[in-house]
Amino acid sequence: MNTPSNESPLNRRGFLKTSGALAAGALAGGLSVERFAHAQGSDILRVALVGCGGRGTGAASQALSNTSAKTRLVAVADVFPDKMDGTLNDLKKMHGDKVEVPDSRKFVGFEAYKQAISSCDVVILATPPGFRPMQFEEAVRQGKHVFTEKPVAVDGPGVRKFLAAAEVAKQKNLKVGVGLQRHHHPGHIEVMKRIHDGQIGDVIATRAYWNGNTPWVRTRAQLEKTAGRKLTEMEYQMRNWYYFVWLCGDHIVEQHIHNLDMINWVKNGYPVKARGNGGCETRKGPDYGEIFDHHVVEFTYADGSVCFSQCRHQLGCWNDVSHHAIGTKGKADLERNVITGDNAWRFQGRAKDPYQQEHDDLFAAIKNNTPYSEAENGAKSSLTAILGRMSTYTGKEISWDEALNSKLDTMPKNLAWDADPLVKPLDSGLYQLAVPGKTQFV
């Protein structure tokens, strides 16, 4: 399928209908969708990719390179057809005939994930995180193993949906990997083991930083120039997804989750409450949507210990991406895997790229049928970051239970190119940001 990138998304529905009809025809004719891919009984695991962006391409490549099981990429899905061809070309260059994706298994649109999932044994979910709960729920419903990128949700209802599906996945013996790849780095595994063995004493405080520059932005002007037409608000937000909470969760969720997840690992638990400050000081303008450019949060854990967390997207400032634990007998640098104090130590081993290792580990579990579920931790580390955002947006102290039970559902009820997202620009073209002290917790 070769659809130009500037085609109106409304026309793409035609393709979806055609591909849906193809699959439906196959089923009516007594052929399962699986028969398009591989004969039953093969020892080759069929992989589908949902979300053909940067990370999806990387994750699919790692699934095809894994050292544990034979794999083929058999289907892809994306809302934008222009994203699929680039991904498939790159993967074919790297993996040759391990990429077996005919046009009939390139699925386009908001519902495309369902068909991709039905074509595979293992699905990679790598869309913007707002879609993760519905896509994970569907993968589990269809009985498929999953590799899902982080975060796995952007709001309380999404976390609840993901956790419920994670429970069903366990009952169905499905293996679930979550892209918090530090859990697969031997240096991080060893430093955590030493901390849990008491080598830095009682952990009384931790700190988590993701202070860096601002990531990509896809401006409305650039996008409309490339498309040669005006974009609907839905398409604009989907293409510039980083800056909208329903898609991204804000950078405290999309990015800082990695640091917060490391602290949860140190604590073997999750915070009971958060108190935060945040705002948007330097990254202003209509194309920066509704997210903040800085968040500072104090998380408290059940034992009374605190995590001081900061994340910032501002240019020209000091930068630091790190996580540390401070104990009564020493300190641990959790990114560099160094302990100082009574039991000084430094990781000196060799480590495979953790992005590859996480796929080697997941496919080994699938092949050997050993228990494997990172879903609950993925959901709870996502909720940690969401809890932080709820506190910085409202200016209130928020508890874990309040965050988990929050009723704020950010996902639009209708997903279509001409449907309205819940958030729309003001007359000025700017989007309304949260106002601490005024924005209500829901």
Binding site for ligand NAD (CB under 6 A): 50-56, 77-80, 83, 110, 112-113, 126-129, 131, 149-150, 179, 181, 238, 254
Q: How far is the CB of 90 from ligand NAD (least distance, A)?
A: 12
Q: How far is the CB of 221 from ligand NAD (least distance, A)?
A: 19
What amino acid occupies position 205? Answer: A
Q: What is the DSSP letter of 167?
A: H
What is the token pair recorded at 151?
A: 């975060």
- Residue 230: CB atoms within 10 Å: 11
CA distance 120 to 48: 6
The nearer residue to ligand NAD, 12 or 273, going by C-beta atoms, is: 12
Q: How far is the CB of 253 from ligand NAD (least distance, A)?
A: 9
Cβ–Cβ < 8 Å for 22, 115 = no
What is the token pair recorded at 57?
A: 């391409």
The residue at minimum Cβ distance from ligand NAD is 53
Q: What is the DSSP letter of 154?
A: S
CA distance 373 to 177: 6
Q: How far is the CB of 218 from ligand NAD (least distance, A)?
A: 9
The nearer residue to ligand NAD, 9 or 395, going by C-beta atoms, is: 9
CA distance 416 to 113: 15
CA distance 42 to 39: 6
The nearer residue to ligand NAD, 161 or 273, going by C-beta atoms, is: 161
Cβ–Cβ < 8 Å for 246, 422 = yes
Nearest to 5 by CA among 217, 223, 216, 218: 223
The nearer residue to ligand NAD, 180 or 339, going by C-beta atoms, is: 180
Q: How far is the CB of 113 from ligand NAD (least distance, A)?
A: 5
The nearer residue to ligand NAD, 138 or 293, going by C-beta atoms, is: 138
The nearer residue to ligand NAD, 157 or 179, going by C-beta atoms, is: 179
Q: How far is the CB of 32 from ligand NAD (least distance, A)?
A: 23
Q: What is the DSSP letter of 130?
A: G
Going through 133-249 in order, the beta strands assigned E by DSSP cover 145-148, 176-178, 203-212
Residues 6 or more apart from 442 whose CB is under 8 A from it?
Answer: 406, 407, 408
Nearest to 63 by CA among 179, 153, 155: 179
The nearer residue to ligand NAD, 353 or 401, going by C-beta atoms, is: 353
Q: How far is the CB of 29 from ligand NAD (least distance, A)?
A: 27
Q: How far is the CB of 205 from ligand NAD (least distance, A)?
A: 26
Q: How far is the CB of 273 from ligand NAD (least distance, A)?
A: 25
The nearer residue to ligand NAD, 165 or 339, going by C-beta atoms, is: 165
The nearer residue to ligand NAD, 112 or 291, going by C-beta atoms, is: 112
The nearer residue to ligand NAD, 181 or 391, going by C-beta atoms, is: 181
Report, in angstroms and rounded to the nearest whole number, the Rg of the chain calculated over CA atoms: 22
- Residue 418: CB atoms within 10 Å: 11
Sheet holding 273-279, edge to edge: 345-346, 338-341, 330-333, 320-327, 203-212, 306-313, 294-300, 273-279, 398-399
Q: How far is the CB of 134 from ligand NAD (least distance, A)?
A: 8
Cβ–Cβ < 8 Å for 131, 237 = no
